[in-house]
Amino acid sequence: MNYGFEIFANVIEAVIIIQFLVRYFGVRARKAGLPIIILMIAVLATTVSAFNFIEYISVAQEFVIDAVIFAMTLIFLRGRALEKLLIVQMTSIVSAVSSIMLTGLFAGWIKYDDNGYASFGVSRVVLVALAQIIYLIFTEYLLHNRIEDRQYVRNSTYLKLNVIIAATLAGHNFLTRYIYVNAVSGGINREMYVLMIALAAVDIIIYQLFVEIINNGIALLKEQMKSSAYESESREVENIQNIYDKTMKARHEMKSVLLNIRLMLKSGELKELEQFLDEELDVRLAAVKAVATGSRLVDAVLNRCVERAEETGMPLDVRVDCVLDGVNEMDMAIVLSNLIDNAFEAAEQAADAHISVKINRKDNYINILISNTCSPDMGNFGGRLMTTKKDADLHGYGIANVKDIINRNYGLYEYTVKDGMFTTNVLMHV
């Protein structure tokens, strides 16, 4: 055995394995990411090389190497333990099968020394290179066929699949040793060879079915939750509309009352007026800030937000520079209701709280620009927006409905977080 080549090959193999695991799970301590990755590569390459010097291929060796990889994922990488165990087992199976498959294909070209080690040569270099290529192809498959929202998967589900894969992995490792020993002695057991490849195919099929079933179930759950949220929002908007209608009716009645007061003042009936105000008009009049957009539903939502700002003392600036005609009132109301509610939730966490809502029209598009202060903790984490809401488990479904409405109206949704300000920009086609 050429020790220099084997050590070099083990380092390359360790780099390929660790880069995949880091891409799949992510490093716990981001600031120390590179040193951790280098440490993991060094530990894995050293472990494999040490076993190579003892015995080229053994069942115990494969289990110990898998255990070392699994331990490093637990210590250094993010994610759930049972998912890490599943991924380590799947990659271990592919490594074993690819090595044996290539050993069988190159059986006529590989020479072995007295200790059972593969002799160094072109065939050995090609075999190692092909094994790593197969591993890379399979790990890319795992990266593109994984469960996207793992928080919805129970540990018991992962545990059951791990038990199945662990049983087949044990069979793979024993078959690997058996087939390799036969290869060294000059023969390949074709039945065992086919059995090992068949076992690997079954494992991949089981894993693919598992991912598809889980992802489809999660997608269905999300659609049900989004539908439920949309119905709830629709009911809320309808309630707002009812309140708005009652308010408009009260304002109309108030005109009659004010007309009556005016007539009393003109006729000098001051005592009667005083009695009327004390006994009949049991309300306290105050200044009313009304927003008028041309859409009754949108007016109701915006005026409710103005009232909420006055009640909570939240500085709120609402500016509407256009008439909202030609738009779906319900869609626009749901979009504004969600975005402004989110703005209130975020601004309440900031030291200098304030919110700005601007609505204008650009050609055939309605532009909604909402800015609010936010806490320093708000921002992107792993591609997802961090939330300050108490109901964090439901966070995202209101925004999902907003995005669905915007997409349905051929629009655009984007947000930025900068210098303690969260800005949402929406375009909706009308």
Q: CB-based contacts of 56: which residues, under 8 Å, 6+ apart?
A: 1, 115, 116, 117, 118, 180
Q: Is 260 exposed, middle or buried (0-12, 13-18, 19+ CB in 10 A)?
A: middle
Say whether pLDDT at 288 is over 70.
no
Band (426; pLDDT cuts 50, 70, 90) = very high
C-alpha–C-alpha distance, residues 190 and 104, integer Å: 9
Burial readout 343-367 (b: 16 or more C-beta within 10 A, e: otherwise): bbbbbbebeebbbbbebebeeebbb
Mean predicted confidence (pLDDT) in 388-403: 58
Token code pair at residue 231: 């119905």
C-alpha–C-alpha distance, residues 179 and 173, integer Å: 10
C-beta separation of 368 from 428 below 8 A:
yes
Locate all alpha helices (DSSP H) within 268-285, ordered by sequence. Answer: 270-275
Band (294; pLDDT cuts 50, 70, 90) = confident
C-alpha–C-alpha distance, residues 402 and 330, integer Å: 12
Band (358; pLDDT cuts 50, 70, 90) = very high
- Among 166-175, 181-190, 315-324, 385-394, the range scoring the smallest mean pLDDT is 385-394
Mean predicted confidence (pLDDT) in 48-67: 74
More confident residue, 317 or 183: 317
Band (388; pLDDT cuts 50, 70, 90) = very low
More confident residue, 16 or 384: 16
Band (183; pLDDT cuts 50, 70, 90) = low
Helix axes of 155-184 and 59-76: crossing angle, nearest 10 degrees: 150
Q: What order of strands is seen across the sheet that includes strand 421-429? A: 316-320, 355-362, 365-373, 421-429, 412-418
Letter for the amino acid at 203? D
Please list the residues that pair with 380 across neighbouring strands.
385
Letter for the amino acid at 131? A
Say whether pLDDT at 205 is over 60.
yes
Say whether pLDDT at 139 is over 80.
yes
Letter for the amino acid at 230? Y
Mean predicted confidence (pLDDT) in 75-102: 84
Phi, psi of 421 (to 5 degrees): -120, 130
Res 349: pLDDT: 87
C-alpha–C-alpha distance, residues 230 and 235, integer Å: 9
More confident residue, 44 or 28: 44
Residue with tokens 């200790």: 115
| CA 252 to mean position of chain CA atoms | 50
- SS3 (DSSP) at 195: helix
- One DSSP character per residue, 125-148 reads HHHHHHHHHHHHHHHHHHHHSS-S
Say whether pLDDT at 25 is over 70.
yes
pTM metric for this prediction: 0.52
CA-based nearest residue to 345, from 303, 296, 399? 399
Please list the residues that pair with 381 across neighbouring strands.
384
More confident residue, 281 or 31: 31
Say whether pLDDT at 373 is over 80.
yes
> What does the angle CA 111 – CA 115 – CA 118 come to, to the nearest 5 degrees?
30
- Average predicted confidence (pLDDT) for the chain: 78
